[in-house]
Amino acid sequence: MPELSRRRVLTTAAALTTAVGARPVLAPSARAAEGDGHGHHSPAAFDEVYRGRRIRGGPTGAGGHHAHGPGYAVSVDGVELHVMRNADGSWISVVSHYDPVPTPRAAARAAVDELQGAPLLLFPAN
C-alpha cells in the first residue's frame, strides 16, 4: 500500500470536492464578500459614540450611485459620510479613500480617526 503523503491527500480532497460539486472552503474575507452572490449584502445597522463623535449607519433600501443592490448610509455627527463598497467586499469613504476596511462601521471609525476632531463637511454629490 503506498504511503499517504500530504500531496496525495490534498489532490484527493480537491478531486472529491470537484466531483461532488461542493463549494470549496473560503477564507473569512471571501465569505463576507459573497453576500447575495454579488457581494452586495447589507451589513447590520449601527449607532454608537466613537471617540466623542456620534457615528451611525444602516441600509437605505435604495441603491446609491455606485450600488447595484441595497444602499447603505453612514453619518458622523449627523453629516453624511459618503461610503462605497469595493468589488472585493471592502468599504472606503471619501475621507479614507485609499484605506479599505471590512465594514461601514470601520469606515466611519477610520474617518473619525482621520478627521482628528475636525468637522466632517458635506460632500457634493454629482
Task: Dump pLDDT digits (tens) for 23-72.
Answer: 444 444 444 444 444 555 779 999 999 999 999 999 987 655 554 456 89
Q: Which of 8-12, 94-98, 120-124 has the lowest mean pLDDT?
A: 8-12
The residues, any chain, with a CB within 8 Å of residue 115's CB and separated by 6 or more, are 53, 76, 95
Q: Concatenate the DSSP letters of all residues of 34-86 into one string.
A: HTTTTS-PPPPPEEEEETTEEEEEEE-SS--SS-SS--EEEEETTEEE-EEE-
Model confidence band, residue 96 (pLDDT cutoffs 50, 70, 90):
confident
Class of the 38-115 domain? Answer: alpha beta
The model's pTM is 0.63
* Residue 81, strand partner residues: 74
Q: Where are the domains of the chain?
A: 38-115
